């Protein structure tokens, strides 16, 4: 990876590239030092080397591609083989000196010596970079010769990047000799370096200072997001592990995209109504469903090899969660007209229909929350990421379409888009061999009982508000009557919930002992 550019007969070293190479080498040493911060070095040191290589690449159209390949083979593969043989001879000497078997040494290392790449470890560990760089350089040169359109080149490079992510997520155990497949990922940084060189972005010191400032801001931003568990980010190019963004940042986007769109399009007042209504239902869901998720994940993981017990455990946990959170959400919808004046005052009455819809939405999302634990316990995080991405896009699209019709239409669209949670819940159950009838068994009876409760409260209000003037007493009365109706209806329709509660109480009593 030369840092010389030769326009005409002059030879000019790129000083900042030399400095970056030195920093990159220090980062490699730091990354393998085993400290608590070593992990962060992997974020950038190898992409940095490919970026610099791309920046220093010079396209020579008068030279044939085969000539370029021979040249790069002399510069990279010949030294690679020479030092591989030299170090192997030294290791053989050490093996003999230790009075160990040379045959055993070759039996343990012959695959790594021939196939290279991620198989190389110990004193050979860094050799993978050389063969990967060779592949990237000849592939990029070939692309430059065969494709003249800049847009088409960009599509090819982005396609390689996406293909590398696909391999990393779904075919992690696939092995390609010499880490040639890592070149699909590395060529993006190589092309980025070449692009910035061609555009002259880094030729002027003021542009370099701006680029440095942006890079520093991005680095600090990434550190903040990562340490606050908003961003799931990591990189190990040698072992084809590229896990950018992931579910945490997707969850963050899913939870905030509606606020961003509403605040920008409808203004502060509708956003205030929307945010207060949503935060109340999110608080209820967070207090019940989220703690249960943290408990269920290790429990489900421990049972993943015993499908029968796992199915029983999931059914019982699902029924309990649904029996608790569905009536809370639906009940909140039913008493929204009583609750808003008491909690927020008469100036917030416009929030009533929003809270009523968010109560239903919270019931749906909360009752299906164990699907996340199922995906994690069954090692299906990439699958969960895919379905969560679809859900986020669905919600964002629903909001954008309904923004012209006002905040109530947006809230209705969000509530309807949350029905998608039933899809991910069904898929999560399918991972452990459960079917649609099991989903109906979990959600059906609480939904029927809660629907009856909602109708009962609405009907009761038509005459209780005529003879009770105190808003707080009216609220408490509706809560009591609604809860009584729900519990009675649930126990009448299915005795399983009573049994689940008894089993749960006994298990908690045993744990405390």
Say which range, 34-43, 118-127, 415-424, has the weakest mean pLDDT.
34-43
Question: What's the pLDDT at 17?
Answer: 67
Using pLDDT thresholds of 50, 70 and 90, give the confidence band for residue 391.
confident
Q: Which of 1-15, 239-253, 409-423, 494-508 has the highest mean pLDDT?
A: 409-423
Q: What is the mean pLDDT of residues 69-90?
A: 94
Question: What's the pLDDT at 150?
Answer: 84
Q: 487 or 282, which is more confident?
A: 487
Residues 258, 281: Cα–Cα separation, whole Å: 15
249, exposed or middle or buried, with CB in 10 Å at 0-12, 13-18, 19+? middle
Question: What's the pLDDT at 309?
Answer: 81
The angle formed by the CA atoms of residues 300, 303 and 306, to the nearest 5 degrees, is: 140
- Max distance between CA atoms of the chain, in angstroms, equals 100
Contact 171, 29 (CB under 8 A): no
Question: What's the pLDDT at 7?
Answer: 40
Q: What helix, strand, coil percent values describe the chain, rounded to 5?
A: 80, 0, 15
pLDDT, one tens digit per residue, over 193-219 is 899 888 877 777 777 778 778 877 877
Using pLDDT thresholds of 50, 70 and 90, give the confidence band for residue 252.
low
Token pair, residue 450, equals 């809660």
State the alpha helices, DSSP H only, in 120-265.
Answer: 128-146, 150-170, 183-199, 205-227, 246-265
Residues 35, 29: Cα–Cα separation, whole Å: 11
Residue that the structure tokens 């950038």 belong to: 44
pLDDT, one tens digit per residue, over 134-186 is 999 999 999 999 988 888 898 899 888 888 877 877 777 788 899 899 999 99
Which residues have CB under 8 Å from 474's CB, separation 6+?
A: 338, 464, 465, 468
Phi, psi dihedral angles at 485 (to 5 degrees): -60, -45
Examine the pLDDT at 386 and tell me if it is beyond 90: no
DSSP 57: -
pLDDT, one tens digit per residue, over 364-377 is 988 898 887 788 77
pLDDT, one tens digit per residue, over 232-243 is 666 778 878 776
Contact 476, 338 (CB under 8 A): no
Q: 310 or 289, which is more confident?
A: 310
Question: What's the pLDDT at 4?
Answer: 44
Question: What's the pLDDT at 204?
Answer: 72
Examine the pLDDT at 498 and tell me if it is beyond 70: no
Question: What's the pLDDT at 232?
Answer: 60
Question: What's the pLDDT at 8?
Answer: 39
Q: What is the mean pLDDT of residues 317-328?
A: 87
Residues 80, 124: Cα–Cα separation, whole Å: 10
Q: What is the mean pLDDT of residues 301-321?
A: 76
Residues 498, 438: Cα–Cα separation, whole Å: 18
For residue 241, give the 3-state DSSP assignment: strand
Examine the pLDDT at 277 and tell me if it is beyond 50: yes
Examine the pLDDT at 294 and tell me if it is beyond 70: no
Contact 323, 249 (CB under 8 A): no
Task: Return the sign of the alpha-carbon dihedral for residues 112, 117, 121, 123.
Answer: positive
For residue 235, give the 3-state DSSP assignment: strand
Question: What's the pLDDT at 5?
Answer: 45
**Percent of the chain's residues with pLDDT above 70:** 79
Q: What is the mean pLDDT of residues 467-494?
A: 89
Question: What's the pLDDT at 242?
Answer: 75
Cβ atoms < 10 Å from Cβ of 252: 16
Residues 327, 359: Cα–Cα separation, whole Å: 9
Among residues 344, 345, 347, 364, which one has the least CA distance to residue 280? 344
């Amino acid at each position: 990876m030369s840092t010389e550019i030769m326009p005409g007969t002059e030879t000019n070293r790129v000083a900042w590239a030399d400095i970056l190479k030195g920093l990159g080498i220090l980062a490699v040493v730091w990354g393998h030092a085993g400290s608590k911060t070593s992990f962060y070095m992997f974020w950038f040191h190898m992409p940095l080397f490919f970026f610099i290589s791309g920046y220093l690449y010079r396209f020579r159209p008068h030279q044939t591609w085969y000539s370029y390949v021979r040249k790069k083979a002399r510069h990279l593969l010949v030294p690679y083989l020479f030092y591989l043989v030299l170090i192997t001879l030294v290791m053989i000497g050490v093996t003999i000196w230790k009075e160990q078997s040379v045959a055993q040494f070759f039996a343990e290392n012959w695959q790594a010596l021939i196939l290279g790449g991620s198989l190389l470890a110990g004193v050979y560990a860094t050799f993978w970079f050389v063969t990967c760089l060779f592949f990237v350089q000849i592939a990029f040169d070939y692309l430059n010769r065969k494709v003249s359109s800049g847009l088409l080149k960009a599509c090819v490079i982005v396609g390689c990047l996406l293909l590398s992510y696909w391999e990393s997520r779904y075919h992690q155990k696939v092995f390609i000799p010499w880490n040639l497949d890592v070149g699909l990922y590395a060529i993006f940084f190589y092309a980025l370096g070449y692009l910035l060189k061609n555009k002259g972005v880094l030729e002027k010191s003021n542009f370099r200072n701006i680029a440095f400032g942006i890079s520093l801001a991005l680095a600090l931003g990434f550190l903040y997001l990562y340490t606050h568990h908003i961003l799931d980010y990591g990189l190990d190019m040698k072992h084809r592990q590229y896990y950018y963004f992931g579910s945490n940042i997707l969850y963050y986007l899913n939870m905030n995209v509606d606020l961003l769109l509403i605040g920008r399009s409808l203004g502060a007042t509708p956003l205030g109504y929307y945010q207060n209504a949503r935060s109340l239902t999110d608080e209820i869901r967070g207090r019940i469903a989220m703690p249960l998720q943290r408990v269920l994940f290790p429990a489900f993981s421990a049972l993943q090899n015993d499908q029968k017990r796992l199915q029983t455990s999931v059914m019982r946990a699902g029924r309990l969660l649904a029996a608790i959170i569905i009536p809370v959400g639906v009940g909140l919808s039913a008493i929204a007209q009583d609750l808003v004046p008491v909690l927020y005052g008469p100036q917030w009455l416009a929030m009533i229909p929003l809270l009523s819809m968010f109560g239903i939405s919270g019931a749906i999302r909360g009752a299906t929350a164990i699907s996340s634990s199922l995906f994690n316990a069954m090692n299906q995080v990439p699958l969960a990421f895919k379905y969560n991405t679809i859900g986020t896009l669905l919600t964002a699209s629903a909001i954008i379409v309904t923004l012209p019709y006002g905040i109530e239409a947006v809230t209705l669209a969000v509530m309807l888009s949350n029905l998608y949670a039933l899809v991910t819940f069904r898929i999560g159950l399918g991972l452990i061999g459960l079917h649609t009838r099991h989903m109906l068994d979990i959600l059906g009876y609480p939904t029927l009982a809660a629907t009856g409760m909602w109708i009962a409260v609405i009907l009761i209000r038509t005459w209780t508000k005529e003879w009770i003037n105190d808003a707080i007493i009216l609220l408490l009365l509706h809560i009591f009557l609604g809860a009584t109706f729900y519990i009675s209806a649930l126990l009448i329709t299915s005795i399983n919930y009573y049994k689940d509660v008894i089993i749960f109480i006994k298990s908690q009593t045993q744990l405390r002992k």
